[in-house]
Amino acid sequence: MPSTLGLLRTTALILCAPAWLAAQQSPPTLTAITPSAAYPGTTLTVTLTGTNFLPGTTVESGTPYITVSNVIVVSTTQITATFTITADGVGSASVSGTSGGVTGSGRVCFTIKRPPVPPAIGSLTPARGNRGASGVKVTIAGVGFTPEMTATINNLGVAIDSLEAVSKTWAYLGLTIAPNAAPGPANLTLTTVAGTSAPVVFTINTPAPTLASVTPAVGAQGTDVPVTLSGTNFFAGATVSSSNPGIAVKNVLVVSETQITAIFTIASNAALGNASVTVTTSGGTSGAAAFAVNPAAPTLTSVSPATGVQGTSVPVTLSGTNFVSGTTVATSNAGITVGNVTAVSTTQATATFTIAANAAVGAVGVTVTKAGGTSAPAAFTVNAVAPSVTSMWPTSGPPGTAVIVTGAHFGPSQGASTVTFNGVNAGAAGSWSDTSITVTVPSGANTGNLVVTVGGVASNGVLFTAGTPPSITTLWPTSGPVGTAVTITGANSEALKAPARSRSAASVREPPPTGAPPVLR
């Protein structure tokens, strides 16, 4: 049974007051104490309410469980004091007072509460919540719940919005879970004046990831493809999978909650077509995004022959890898038409390049294309048609002589084309067409071949004799019928030489018929 503690309020008489004053003082009365209860082992300030409280009043405790100190007479109707309750204190106390030797008439009750039971958590419903969730309401079942109870959770990303103890065994907890809250288990505890409960796990879930795209969305057999996956709810430890066993996923890196990078190593025999790619985290597995495996792109190492002339058709052989039926060949020169493409094997194809007469001259990029992609270009060069010289007039002469050169493929204008006399450039021509050139023998020219060069391509050479022109001093006879032999005498007659004849420098003769003079040819 609880014990009773009597507390006597006494109002001390003023020092040296006559005895009759004490005899006439009204006894104090005590009507209330606040608070009126406390737990063992606590120290608290109490307020006593009543009448006839005078300075010097002392407060006494009749129990060994409470020590009274710091008594202050606030007014004739109020006193404050400090109660220190021992840890083993039990029961209730009846408080009375004495003042100036006069014992008060009223008593108040102060109860020492039984030691409280620390809270204990039996269950949480729900026991988990998703990152980014707000307004999460958790029902807590257990014992030892009190109105002043507080809750703590050891995850900085989880905020406790409210805690309501409905009874000693039920409470409601309100939570907000930040989007970046650390996923996984977190310890939840409840604390009252009696102590702190053992922790119970509340798990922060990661929502299932979503996968919006894989970039690039295609890759060729036999290649390593760096890819970027975009979506939501990507977290450390996420894995990436493909439905194609020929795709090995490597170097997965969670860059952020919305981006993952990885390398797809595609086997050379990986199945062609779309594969499903997914992302998996502790929150689940995403929906699938498509990634297509294409045939390996072709490679082109050479084109043979690697040159062709304008206006010709050139059969070529292309060497490389991954050639298949249906492979196409293209060039960067619009003047080349590609035909008769045949994939002879996976490493060789043949084709015909038909080069237009006006096709651009110079280097051309040749590529091979199939379903797996397009090769890097290989070189093919279009050369201009070689000019040809068929005749010229005159075939000899000193510098300054105008020479008419006849032939083909000279081009419509001179441009950068040249005419040389035994290597000496004649400079600008007087006229220039595709079949005829008029040019002047340059100073310093020597006997040798005349050559026309167009687009860097040289013509055949035709002999031109450079020097003083022949002069005729005598001609005999000076007349005669057809067939008459004529003797010409003069200087520099070598200019009149023909390749099959040998003639002197002084005259040009042919043996005439017997008894006839020489014949000039």
> Tens digit of pLDDT for each residue in 304-320?
999 999 899 999 999 99
Q: Do residue 452 and residue 489 come from a single domain? A: no
Residue 124 and residue 90 share a domain: no
Is 162 inside a domain boundary? yes
CB 17 within 8 A of CB 105: no
Is 520 within a domain?
no
Average pLDDT, rounded, for the chain: 86
- C-alpha distances in Å from residue 455, one per residue of 392, 417, 418: 21, 6, 9
- Domains: count for the chain: 6
136 and 197 belong to one structural domain? yes
Cβ atoms of 25 and 104 within 8 Å: the answer is no
Q: Please tell me whether residues 106 and 12 are part of one structural domain.
A: yes
Residue 344 inside a domain? The answer is yes
- In which domain, by residue range, is 488 found? 471-508
Q: What is the pLDDT of residues 136-149, one digit of tens each?
A: 999 999 999 998 89
pLDDT tens sequence across 72-108: 999 999 999 999 999 888 877 766 566 666 666 677 8
Place of tokens 């687009």: 455
Comparing CA positions, the residue from 368, 372, 369, 373 lying closest to residue 272 is 372
Residues 6+ apart with CB under 8 A from 371: 294, 295, 326
Q: What is the pLDDT of residue 5?
A: 36
- For residues 17 and 97, state if they share a domain: yes
Given 89, 112, 135, the domain boundary residue is: 112
Q: Is residue 521 part of a domain?
A: no
Check pLDDT > 70 for residue 59.
yes
Query: Residue 99 domain-assigned?
Result: yes
Among 15-24, 90-99, 179-188, 367-376, the range scoring the smallest mean pLDDT is 15-24
H or E stretch at 23: helix 19-24
Are 17 and 108 found together in one domain?
A: yes
The strand pair at 128-130 and 200-205 is best described as parallel
Does the model's pTM come out above 0.75?
Answer: no
| CATH label of the domain that carries residue 79 | 2.60.40.10
Instruction: For residues 18 and 107, state if they share a domain.
Output: yes
DSSP labels, 131-172: TT--SEEEEEEEE---TT-EEEES-TTEEEEEEEE-SSSEEE
Residues 101 and 32 in one domain: yes
- Give the C-alpha separation, 94 to 111, whole Å: 9
Spatial distance between the Cα atoms of 375 and 389, rounded to a whole number of angstroms: 42
165 part of a folded domain: yes
Q: Is residue 1 part of a domain?
A: no
- Whether residues 379 and 394 share a domain: the answer is no
Closest CA to 44 of 32, 33, 60: 33
| Mean pLDDT score, 226-246 | 94
287 & 319 share domain: no
For residues 55 and 79, membership in a common domain is answered with: yes
Residue 281 shares a structural domain with residue 243: yes
User: Does residue 519 form part of some domain?
Assistant: no
